[in-house]
């Protein structure tokens, strides 16, 4: 669950296609939240988590000993490095009831209880997922060139007629 400074909530829940320990589930939830925060271009994060192990490993106060925990910690740190600033706090389990309710809903047999809450299905551990890249080669001055420039460089064409022509071609 992400909460904006204005109090707006973004909810998401996860279903696993694999068995996971409590600690792995905590890391998966943290990674999902970090990915969502990155997707909405958050810059500053205040993270609340009820897992003593996860919080203290991320803070560097506990050492990750097992291979899976080391991989999770590395992935979390890579994502955290993309934000300008973050703070991580451990909270009592009793103060994390929203997250627990989402977790219970995700494991319920009837997804109808979820209503408008998106459910992400993870087939494998986040630390085992491969990054797939699609390479597109286009000729110079293709109709795709401005789109690719935007995706690659976030550069928009300032030519309004060109934008209208591209929009008409896409329709």
pLDDT tens across 124-167, in order?
666 765 544 555 666 666 766 777 676 666 666 666 666 667 66
CATH, residue 121: 3.30.420.10
On whether both 169 and 92 belong to a single domain, the answer is no
Q: Whole domain around residue 12: which residue ranges?
A: 2-128
On whether both 23 and 98 belong to a single domain, the answer is yes
On whether both 162 and 107 belong to a single domain, the answer is no
Residues sharing a CB contact under 8 Å with residue 27, sequence separation 6 or more, in sequence order: 54, 69, 72, 73, 76, 126
pTM: 0.61
> What's the pLDDT tens digit per position in 61-88?
999 988 889 999 999 999 999 999 999 9
Nearest to 78 by CA among 23, 30, 25, 13: 30
What is the domain count for the chain?
2
């Amino acid at each position: 669950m992400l909460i904006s400074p204005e109090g707006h909530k973004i909810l998401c829940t996860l279903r696993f296609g694999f068995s996971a320990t409590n600690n792995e589930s905590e890391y998966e939830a943290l990674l999902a939240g970090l990915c969502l925060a990155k997707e909405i271009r958050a810059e500053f994060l205040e993270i609340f988590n009820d897992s003593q192990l996860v919080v203290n490993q991320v803070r560097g106060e506990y050492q990750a000993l097992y291979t899976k925990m080391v991989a999770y910690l590395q992935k979390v740190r890579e994502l955290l490095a993309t934000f300008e600033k973050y703070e991580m706090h451990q909270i009592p389990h009793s103060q994390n009831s929203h997250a627990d309710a989402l977790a219970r809903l995700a494991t319920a047999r009837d997804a109808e209880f979820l209503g408008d809450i998106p459910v992400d299905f993870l087939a494998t551990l986040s630390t085992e997922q491969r990054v797939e890249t699609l390479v597109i080669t286009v000729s110079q001055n293709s109709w795709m060139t401005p789109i690719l420039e935007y995706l690659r460089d976030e550069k928009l064409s300032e030519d309004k007629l060109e934008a209208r022509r591209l929009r008409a071609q896409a329709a």
